[in-house]
Structure 1
Amino acid sequence: MSRVGDRIKEERVKKGITPKQLGKKCGVTESFILDIESGRKIINEKLLSQISKVLGSNLEESMVLEVSFDDKKETTEKKSQKLIPSSSIKRPEVEPLAQWEDALSNIIKKIPIYDMQMTAIKDYKSFPIIDKKVEGFHPDKLIYIEISDDLLTQYRIKKGDRCLIYLNQEFTNGAFHLIEYDDKKRLRKLKKAEGNNKIQFVEGLDGKALIKDRKEIKVLGKLVRVEIDFK
């Protein structure tokens, strides 16, 4: 209840007037009078003056006192706030919840970075998922491999460089592929040889070309790009 509402109800009861009767004399509904008395609605000065005349009491004084009281209260609260010494509070570090990662999995893809033989994940790199794809490829078909030697320096690919690979067994003539033969994984530039039955690639720093039967070579993926290690 507001102070004005209390005064209106108090004077109305003294005069023996019901809310309905008061509302009728002032040109408002009974519910409106009840809302004013309960503080749910704010009364304007014109209606307050009209109710004052009907009840024969100076209710405008109550409104002035109420405003004055609220101003003092607000000023006191501001002063109290100034007196409270501010101190920096160190907030505890919050680790992302599993639910957060699940929610972000639809918009962010963490691509694993493997060692050359893909026996261990060394790190991750995050990419935005756009139209359900990452870099134009299916998100689950991308990995990184970290080059473990300098056998590809003639192609400006060195040890420590990270290569983004699209996992696909399709062979593309003249492209770099992640392959496996003799139980080892390698990144090599493959070319057709002797028709479609053989594959040729350079092995070693001496630039020696090897020719292997296609059945001996297992194509694991295709190179998308090389990210140079500047260390």
Structure 2
Amino acid sequence: MSRVSDKIKEARLKKGLTQKQLAKKLGVAESFINEVESGRKIINESLMNRISKVLGKGINDIGISFEEEVSSEPKREIPINKDNKIKDVWDNAFSSIIKDVPVYNYNLDRVIDKKQLPVIGNKVEGIHQDKVLFLKIEEEDMSGFRVNKGDIAFGYIHYEMENNCIFLIEHNNKRSVRQLKRLDGDKILLINNGISLRTEAVRLKDIKIIAKLLKVEVTL
């Protein structure tokens, strides 16, 4: 038991109060008073003042004992993990000059891998760093353009039609990589070049342009 708990119990007995009666006056449970007097529960200064008022005369030294006991408790220093702080500093520093660019599947819902590229002026390869991506080629229908299944294409999120460029598109609920060529009016030509060159004329509004591809890393 601590000095404070001893003095509270002593003052309560002198006042002729049971633990239950003291608890009722303070608006707490009897078990709480029992734990305080046994030293298992530490009370705050506010409750200490309330106890002093209830027990009255001769109780002022409880507050003094409480302050002495608190001040005598050893101060615990919370250790700072310097290694983590240093790591965070380096991570923040590198994030401004190196970007982990995700490698996606055609649905852009699964990250297959990541590749690091330098960031220059908040851009990667001249493109805003928040837009860039890699795309793993899933089919052989663009091999005539040297874009083969398993290759990794670099590009960026882009929704506008640009003539004779290669895009990741969605058409008839299927995603694919195609070269787009503008025709008359709102018509465009979808070009794929696998075993042979194939084309399909569609209206621009019937396709969804998702990303523009700029170059391919060839898998040997």
**TM-score w.r.t. length of structure 2:** 0.57
**Counterpart position of 1:196:** 185
2-structure distance, mates of 1:122, 1:167:
17
1:113 corresponds to which of 103, 106, 112: 103
2:177 corresponds to which of 163, 180, 187: 187
- Deviation at residue 196 of structure 1 after TM alignment: 3.4
Task: Determine which structure has more spread, i.e. the larger CA radius of gyration.
Answer: 1
2-structure distance, mates of 1:189, 1:117:
18
- Deviation at residue 99 of structure 1 after TM alignment: 5.1
Across the aligned residues of Structure 1 and Structure 2, the Cα RMSD in angstroms comes to: 2.1
- Deviation at residue 159 of structure 1 after TM alignment: 0.7
**TM-score w.r.t. length of structure 1:** 0.54
2-structure distance, mates of 1:205, 1:183:
23
Segment drifting more, 170-179 vs 205-214 = 205-214
What code does the residue aligned with 1:215 have? Answer: K
Matches within 5 A, 1:39-188: 97=87, 100-188=90-178
Contact 2:106 2:168 in 1 (8 A): no
- Extract unaligned runs of 5+ from structure 2: 1-82
- Extract unaligned runs of 5+ from structure 1: 1-93
**Counterpart position of 1:66:** none
Seen in structure 2, the aligned counterparts of structure 1 residues 102 and 158 have a Cα distance that, compared at 3 Å, is same
Give the total of aligned pairs: 136
2-structure distance, mates of 1:199, 1:97:
51
2-structure distance, mates of 1:224, 1:192:
18
1-structure distance, mates of 2:206, 2:126:
30
Secondary structure of the equivalent of 2:108?
coil
- Deviation at residue 145 of structure 1 after TM alignment: 0.4
- Deviation at residue 173 of structure 1 after TM alignment: 0.6
What code does the residue aligned with 2:211 have? Answer: G
